[in-house]
A and B are shown apart, each in its own frame.
Chain A
Amino acid sequence: DAGVIQSPRHEVTEMGQEVTLRCKPISGHNSLFWYRQTMMRGLELLIYFNNNVPIDDSGMPEDRFSAKMPNASFSTLKIQPSEPRDSAVYFCASSPDGPMNTEAFFGQGTRLTVV
């Protein structure tokens, strides 16, 4: 398996533009997570899906952020409109259902810069 695949790897956009980040989880994994990583705040969970259903979106910073998982093999995180403070590395991770030692596998991340 190729692992968790994210696209694009890098994105530079102007303030006010819409940004869409994409993720393909590992086949067979039931849970999908979107994280944001910054120097100041570390790795923050934005939203967590299980079997394509959003379970916890309490980490989504505000209404400008939205996430969807239309099927088991694809998820998007959209920011509209984008702001400079959204600049960060966004990671997607997936894990199978299993015991409490279940590992989350991370994609390579999307480095977003909003200017």
Chain B
Amino acid sequence: QKEVEQNSGPLSVPEGAIASLNCTYSDRGSQSFFWYRQYSGKSPELIMFIYSNGDKEDGRFTAQLNKASQYVSLLIRDSQPSDSATYLCAVNSGAGSYQLTFGKGTKLSVIP
């Protein structure tokens, strides 16, 4: 069974700090990795994807992937109160499939 694990939180950080969100996955054959943000009562929306080992930066967000350790993370620099949400890690096993396996999410709270 493919599993994606995240710390449920809540993770509280002060405004302007770096928030670090972590995710591990069980399927070693997984090929692409996604971070979704979900505000309370809303649907998930994509923030970033990554499929190569290393770092990928997009504005205040950096995704990090280590396939050997089966670990993916999301860093949010200069955290803002508007970043307060649940962050979902999702994994695609590839092999021609487009289905994603989601973690349960980490709830982030940015304190003004």
Contact = CB atoms under 8 A, between A and B. Distances in A.
B69 interface: no
Interface of B: 31-32, 34, 42-46, 49, 51, 88, 92, 94, 97-105
The main secondary structure of chain A at its interface with chain B is strand
Contacts of A109: 43
B105 A50 contact: no
Given A42-B104, A43-B88, A102 B44 contact: no
Contacts of B101: 45
A48 B103 contact: no
A44 B104 CA distance: 9
A56 interface: yes
30 contacts: A31-B98, A33-B99, A41-B104, A42-B88, A42-B102, A42-B103, A42-B104, A42-B105, A43-B44, A43-B105, A44-B102, A45-B99, A48-B97, A55-B97, A55-B99, A56-B97, A56-B99, A97-B98, A100-B31, A101-B49, A102-B98, A103-B34, A103-B46, A103-B49, A104-B46, A104-B100, A106-B43, A108-B42, A108-B43, A109-B43
A53 to B, nearest CB: 13
Contacts, number: 55
The main secondary structure of chain B at its interface with chain A is loop
* 8 closest A-B pairs by CB: A42-B104, A106-B43, A43-B102, A100-B32, A101-B49, A48-B99, A31-B98, A103-B46
